Amino acid sequence: MIRLVPGGGGARIDRRRPTRARGTGSGSKQPPPLPWSPRLDGAPPVARTTSLTSLGSPSPDASGARAGAEAYTVVARRYRPQRFEDVVGQDHVVRALRNAIRLDRVAQAYLFSGTRGVGKTSMARIFAKALNCERGGPTETPCNECDTCRRIATGEDTDVIEIDGASNNGVESVRELRQGAGLRPIRSRYKIYYIDEVHMLSTSAFNALLKTLEEPPSHVKFVFATTEPNKIPITVLSRCQRFDFAGIGPERIVDQLATICDREGVEADREALHVVARRAAGSMRDAQSLLEQLLSSGGDRLTADRVHQVLGIAGDDRVLDLLDALADRDAGRALQLLDRAVDDGVQPTDVLNSSIEFLRDVLVIAAGADVPALAALPGQRERIAALARRWSLDTILAAQQILAEARGRLRGSPHTRLLVELALCRVARLEDLAELREVIALLSGMEPRSPASGGDGGKKKSAEPLTSAAMPASPAPRRSVDHGPGTNGHERTPEVVTRASAAEAEAEIEAERPSAPEPAVPSGSDPMDRLREAWAELAERAEDYKLPAHFRKLEPARLESPGVVVVPVPPAYNYLADRCEAPELRSRIESQLSEAIGRPVCFRFEREAAGPAASTASEPGSEAHRAILDDDFARQLVSRFEAQLRRVDARPEPEHSGRPGAGAGADPEDDREDSDD
């Protein structure tokens, strides 16, 4: 008896003896109809299923076209690219493969690498159709109508073998592959092996594949796909032509989703599709899967609010409000916005990720780069630009680093909301790092660069609490710490340090020291030349000796007796002298100098005075030191940068008669403060 078996590819002989049914008369029961329709062309039988409601017009995918009697196919499969022209975002790969076919330079092995959902499997199937098409192949334009093209599109062709590398990763699987590669293809020109996730193969399997991969039969082609090319041995990579698939841009994803919605008969706002594309992170398949979820949720129109609600992600306005609160240093309002988002079903992780994406656009605008935004829509660019104006570039970098570190700590942690709240509070407490940089320069004895000299592109810096440049100089000193509250009810930012150079204090200290005799040493003497050569060698190997980077800016000038090398220090490089006077660095420098001259020597820095004005320096433990450490702002500065307060310099203030506003209308508090000093 001949019986049709479903999925068998045709008729199968059944050698069992047929049994006679009881009751052969007209009243006997007829056997139930077969659940499939027999095919006389040898193709698999077509299942009889109930027709499902279609979302739109038929797909361009010939294998996934939904006739009235076929089952529903998801969007990602129905709209899979079927021609080279349909592939989105991989123009460089398409161009190379088409040229290889046209010039008859098809290699024996190809490696497609890239993240998920960027078209690796689709490209491999199109390439296989182009090689094995029955109508004029190899060709750049497969017909998609012949039986070979249709079967390759569904992954059912006998000469195009698709293998999952994760489940067939052993030597036995490779041995079977090698045995099959020796056989001629059944009906096509080439037998093509497509191994997905090839990096999952074991080391032994890779080694067993090397010989066949390097010298395969003329009818065999290999196409590998992987998301982690770094795990593939170099011996395999050297035998393949590698093509890296790039992530697909948001605009291209939006255009493709708009086309799908149009063919499915669904109206969609472009803003809503932008949200889907941003969520897909460069993966077309992820975007199509998200669109499938949105279409399945019902509704006549796809809006941004509906996308946020269905996918459970934070709305753009909510994220921008959160960044506004952080820019205002309002940690309380930031936590309230996070709490409302969580109450609406948004995960704290999604709020953090969206904040990082929008903060990236703020960073781009603050840096002055002319690159497209990844998260912000055209209508939101004004709010992004306002955030860039309120935050300095250094502050944005610090905020981005804090949020990125928090996202890394969320993996595997059960306290996701707490970690997100901690990160938001830390960002809200960030000071203006542009001003802090100026304070650090002053504390280290350096003159900060003016905006006119470059640096931050001419950003305006608030120097009001740091200096009184408009005031004329006067010998009357004034302490640089003010603990009094401001007139507006808020705490006034204390004056941590004035803009006077540390060289003034050094000049006064040097002036008080008894001057040592300075016998003249001829500039061309051998000892001095050897000292300069030894100093230059130290500067060349500054990194090896752990010396400051600008050590070469200093140079010995003369040799005093007994064995004292004098090194002049310009005012701008006093910080170099301070670092080199550390015991460890001083020992290294003196050791090299002594070895060069042949006798023990030591060096002394001679600091040059910056100007005629006298200044005073307070040593550790003095009243000025205690006053600085009692100040909240100074304590935060020392704690944040793990610094040590070594010296407090006080610059002289103008006399009462020469100060603007002195006299009848002068503030008596200022007079008392000056008198105290």
Q: What is the pLDDT of residue 446?
A: 54
pLDDT tens readout for residues 482-536:
444 444 444 443 333 433 444 454 555 455 554 444 434 444 456 788 888 888 8
Does residue 4 register a pLDDT over 50?
A: no
Residue 664 has pLDDT above 50, yes or no: no
Give me the pLDDT at residue 403, please. 92
Looking at residue 610, its pLDDT comes to 56
Last residue of a domain, one of 296, 311, 326: 311
**Is 91 in the same domain as 214?**
yes
* 225 and 89 inside one domain: yes
Is residue 270 domain-shared with residue 341, that is, in the same domain?
no
Specify the 3-state DSSP secondary structure of 650.
Answer: strand
Tokens of 556: 């010995």
Question: 268 exposed, middle or buried (CB, 10 Å; 0-12, 13-18, 19+)?
Answer: buried
Cβ-contact 504, 615 below 8 angstroms = yes
- Residue 238 belongs to some domain of the structure: yes
Are 317 and 307 a contacting pair, CB within 8 Å? Answer: no
Q: Are residues 236 and 184 in the same domain?
A: yes
Does residue 241 sit in the same domain as residue 263?
no
Question: Are 229 and 285 in a shared domain?
Answer: no
pLDDT over 60 (residue 186): yes
- CA–CA separation, 180 and 191 (whole Å): 9
Whether 231 and 260 share a structural domain: no
pLDDT tens, 571-614? Answer: 777 777 888 888 888 888 888 888 877 788 888 888 876 554 44
In a domain, 333, yes or no: yes
- Is the pLDDT at 338 greater than 80? The verdict is yes
Same domain, 221 and 334: no
Single out the residue in 397, 419, 434 at which a domain terminates: 434
| 269 and 342 assigned to the same domain | no
Domain at 420, CATH number: 1.20.272.10
In a domain, 323, yes or no: yes
Q: What is the pLDDT of residue 281?
A: 86
pLDDT at res. 26:
41
pLDDT band at 100 (very low <50, low <70, confident <90, very high): very high
Is residue 59 assigned to a domain? no
pLDDT of residue 435: 57
- Mean pLDDT calculated for residue range 655-675: 42
pTM: predicted TM-score of the whole model, two decimal places = 0.55
pLDDT of residue 654: 44
**Residue 346, in any domain of the structure:** yes
**Joined tokens for residue 623:** 């009243």
Give the three-class secondary structure for 63.
coil
The predicted structure's pLDDT at residue 579: 80
Domain co-membership, 179 together with 221: yes
Query: Is residue 629 included in any domain, yes or no?
Result: no
Residue 287 located in a structural domain: yes
Whether the predicted pLDDT of 323 surpasses 80: yes
Which CATH number is 130's domain given? Answer: 3.40.50.300
Task: Tell me phi and psi for residue 111, to 5 degrees.
Answer: -125, 120
Q: What is the mean pLDDT of residues 553-561?
A: 81
Specify if 15 maps to a domain.
no
- Residue-level pLDDT at 513: 52
115-156 pLDDT, tens digit each: 999 999 999 999 999 999 988 879 999 999 999 999 999 888
> What CATH number should be reported for the domain holding residue 257?
1.10.8.60
Taking each helix axis from N to C terminus, what angle separates 284-296 and 250-264, rounded to the nearest 10 degrees? 40
Indicate if 198 and 265 belong to the same structural domain. Answer: no
Residue 392: predicted pLDDT: 84
One domain, residues 278 and 185: no
Element (H, E) at 580: helix 574-580
CB-count exposure of residue 670 (10 Å: 0-12, 13-18, 19+): middle
CATH number for the domain harbouring residue 545? 3.30.300.180
For residue 438, the SS3 value is helix
Higher pLDDT, 292 or 488: 292
Q: List beta partners, residue 239.
A: none
Query: Count of domains in the chain?
Result: 4
Domain boundary among 587, 607, 627: 607
**Domain span at 279:** 251-311
Q: Does pLDDT of 51 surpass 60?
A: no
